Structure 1
Amino acid sequence: MEAIWTLLRFCEYITAGNLLRGIKVYRTSLMCGAGLFCAVLTGCATKPVPSDVTGLTSYAIVQQIRCEARDAIRAFATNSLAEHQPLLSAHLKNNPADFIGLDFRKLDEATRRVFERYDQGAIGYDFTFDITEKNKAGGGIGLRRGFSTGPLTIGFRADNNLERQNTRTFRSADTFLFLATQMPERFCSEVRKGTNWQYPISGSIGLRETLATFISLNQSANLVGPDKTPDIPTLVDTIEFTTTVSGSVSPKVQLEPISQALRINGADITLSGERIDKHKVVVGLTLPFDPNDQRARGNLIAVQRSLSAIADAKRESREERKASAIDRLIE
Structure 2
Amino acid sequence: MRKLTLLPTILLASCSIYPLPDDIMAYSSRDIATQVRCETRYALQQQILDMLTSDGDNVYYDGKVGSAASAALDSDRTQFHNLSWKKFKWEGHDDFSETLEDLGSTMVSYDFTLDGTENNALGFSGTVLGDFSPRKHNLGFGLGNDRTREVSRHYRVYDTFNSLVMGMTEKFCHNFNMFDKSSKLPDKSFTTKNHYLYPSTGMLRIETLVHDFIIQDIEGNLGSDPKAGGWKQPNMTDTITMTTKVSGNLNPTSTYTPLNPGWDVISLGLKADNYRTDKHTIIVDLSLPPDKTGQPVYDNFGRLIDPKSAAAAKKQADDNLDQTERRNFEQRTTVFVQ
1:158 and 2:143 equivalent?
yes
The CA distance in 1 between the partners of 2:102 and 2:109, in whole Å, is 18
Q: CA deviation at 1:310?
A: 10
Contact 1:139 1:158 in 2 (8 A): yes
Taking the aligned partners of 1:174 and 1:47, their CA distance within structure 2 comes to 30
Q: Distance in 2 between matches of 1:193 and 1:254?
A: 53
In 1: Cα distance, 2:304 partner to 2:193 partner: 27
Residues 228-254 of structure 1: CA deviation (Å, up to 9, x unaligned) = 221110111000000011111111111
What is the identity, as a one-letter code, of the residue corresponding to 2:59?
H
Hey, what does 1:317 align to over in structure 2? none
Matches within 5 A, 1:239-250: 239-250=240-251
Shift of 1:155: 1.4
More helix by share: 1
| Larger RCO of the pair (alpha carbons < 8 Å, separation 6+) | 1
Deviation at 1:148, TM superposition (A): 2.4
**1:1-331 pair list within 5 angstroms:** 39-40=10-11, 43-82=14-53, 83-85=58-60, 86=66, 87-108=68-89, 110-189=95-174, 190-228=189-227, 229-230=229-230, 231-288=232-289, 290=291, 292-294=292-294, 297=295, 300-301=296-297, 304-305=298-299, 307-308=301-302
Deviation at 1:106, TM superposition (A): 3.3
Contact 1:42–1:245 under 8 Å retained in 2: no
> Matched residue pairs, number?
269
* CA-to-aligned-CA distance 1:205-261 (integer Å, 9 cap, x gap): 111011111112222221111122211101110000000111111111111111111
Query: Which amino acid letter does the alignment assign opposite residue 89 of structure 1?
Result: S
Equivalent residue letter for 1:67: C
Mapped contact 1:38–1:135 kept (Cα < 8 A) = no
- Find the aligned partners of 1:55 and 1:236 in 2 and give their Cα distance: 28
CA distance in 2, matches of 1:206, 1:180: 17
Asked if the contact 2:59–2:88 (Cα under 8 Å) also holds between the matched residues in 1, the reply is no
Relative to 1, partners in 2 of residues 1:38 and 1:166: Cα closer, same or farther, differing over 3 Å? farther
Distance change in 2, residues 1:206/1:41 (3 Å): farther
Q: Deviations over 1:69-110 (max 9, x none)?
A: 001111122223334221222211222111012233333355
Which one-letter code corresponds to 1:98 in the other structure?
Q
Aligned CA distance change for structure 1 residues 114 and 43 (closer, same or farther; 3 Å): farther
Letter in 2 for 1:288: P
Q: What do you get for the CA RMSD once the two structures are aligned?
A: 2.2
TM-score (norm 2): 0.74
Contact 1:233 1:289 in 2 (8 A): no
Q: CA deviation at 1:289?
A: 5.5
Residue type matched to 2:71 in 1? A
TM-score if structure 1 supplies the norm length? 0.76
Counterpart code for 1:242: T
Gaps of 5+ in 2: 1-6, 61-65, 175-188, 306-338
Alpha-carbon distance, 1:42 to partner: 7.5
Question: Is the contact made by 1:80 and 1:111 (CA closer than 8 Å) also made in structure 2?
Answer: no
Identity %: 28
Distance in 2 (alpha carbons) for counterparts of 1:62 and 1:272: 32
User: Structure 1 counterpart of 2:123, which letter?
Assistant: G
